[in-house]
Amino acid sequence: MRALTGLRIRCIPRTGPSTLPSSSRSFSSLRLLTPYLPSQSRPILPPQTPKLTGHPQSRPFSLLPLLETSITTSQTLLTTLHTTTLTPWYLTIPLFALTINLATRLPTTIYSRLIAIRRAKLAPLTRAWSARAAHDVNKQAKDEQEGIRSAARGRTQQDLARWMAGYHTANVRERKKRFRRWGVQEWKDWVPGLAVFPVWVVGIEGLRRMCGGPRGLVGTLVFGGREAGSGDGEQAAGAMAAPATGQVQEALTTAAAADPSMAMGGCLWFPDLMVADPYHVLPFALSAILVLNLLPRSEVGIRSLFDLTDKEQVTVVQSKWSMRLRRGLLMVAMAVGPLTMDLPAALHLYWICSATLTGVETEIIKRLLPMPKTVPPAKLTDKNLMYIQPAREETKES
């Protein structure tokens, strides 16, 4: 009994001969020998692992680390050019713009030029189809003016306007079909430019951090209220954040330090590249260069851009949406200079060099890859119309 001290023994009274089977008697004897352990002396079981649900946890996708890596790479490239070439900053920044243009802008400009050449080869087919349809429209209008109201060709003025609108829609649809068949769609003119724009933004953002300028477009749209290099508060926030966010904050603090040598790296009337141009020459020069790059080189293109073409002339240089887009870009180009006058001179210098190199590259490619000589449109007379659509009388006689 001393060995069983502290054990709780449950006795089963027996009033008569046992009628339980042997298995039941064995189970009862085991219960008699089971010790009772209080709650404090119970063994601590290891924590159970949580069960996996049908929706596994995943980290949200973020472009912030990739963006920071790209900006840091642009800063490294700029610093490497400065230390390798041993040039002052007012020459290093144009070299930086030239490197980015040769790596990104030049291939896309060549691609767009090849698309324009292939589209120009389809001009005779497009003109022939449009000329024949325009001849039908003019003939219908002439019949209306003469007052011919036959049952076969009689139309009111509203019906004629509706028919001309339908012709225009069919013409646009047919042109898109031909462009799609030959792989020269109009969207291929502006997609390469949009693909180069992020690279340009990364370059100017890296330069903005090195010259100590105000928060740029990337910092405002992506980083929000966080600003690099703010001291102890930002270090404490980085310590409490996730590991990925901490690495990004560390990269922000390291990369955002301005280079003091840019304060003496200017020339002429802007010796300090870390402050704005005191005479505001660079901002207005930037607007002028951007406007020159957007203006067409031909007289027909300029008249079409400013809507100076005759309404009676049946010539479509570009579609309406492309004209509206170019007009909007012209307004933006004229407003860029006055809106960015307070930016450091280094940013204006990079922007001017990039825009100038883009215009020079475009002109060089135009000379190296000239447009094919197109056949002028034929005059629609009665002699050559029979090859397009034979007359009914000639068909009956044959």
Around Cβ 86, how many Cβ atoms within 10 Å? 8
Around Cβ 287, how many Cβ atoms within 10 Å? 19
Q: How many helices (H) and strands (E) does the chain have?
A: 16, 0
- ∠ CA 233-237-238, nearest 5°, is 115
**pTM reported for the whole predicted model:** 0.64
pLDDT, tens digit, 9 for 90 and up, residues 247-268: 444 444 444 467 788 888 888 8
CA dist 394 and 397 (Å) reads 5
CA dist 364 and 13 (Å) reads 112
Which 3 state secondary structure label does DSSP give 279?
A: coil
- Single out the residue of 186, 145, 140, 208 nearest to residue 350, CA to CA: 208
Tokens coding 266: 């200017």
Backbone φ and ψ for 149, nearest 5 degrees, come out as: -125, 45
- Residue 283: per-residue pLDDT: 92
pLDDT, tens digit, 9 for 90 and up, residues 129-186: 777 766 666 666 566 555 544 444 445 556 666 666 766 777 777 788 888 888 888 8
Tokens coding 11: 């006795």
> Interhelix angle for 232-240 vs 243-255, to 10°?
160
Q: Where are the domains of the chain?
A: 130-183
Around Cβ 309, how many Cβ atoms within 10 Å? 14
Q: What letter would DSSP give residue 267? A: B
Cβ atoms 130, 171 nearer than 8 A: yes
Q: Where are the beta strands (DSSP E) in 102-196?
A: none
382 backbone φψ class: left, alpha, beta (φ>0; ψ -120 to 50)? alpha
- Residue 161: per-residue pLDDT: 67
CA dist 143 and 371 (Å) reads 40
331 to each of 285, 295, 300, 328, 372, how far by Cα in Å? 15, 12, 20, 5, 32
Beta bridge partners of 270: 267
Cβ atoms 369, 110 nearer than 8 A: yes
**The residue to which tokens 């290099």 are assigned:** 229
CA dist 255 and 251 (Å) reads 6
CA dist 357 and 200 (Å) reads 13
For the chain, which residues score pLDDT lower than 70?
1-62, 133-164, 166-167, 215-257, 308-320, 375-398
- Single out the residue of 328, 327, 290, 287 nearest to residue 306, CA to CA: 327
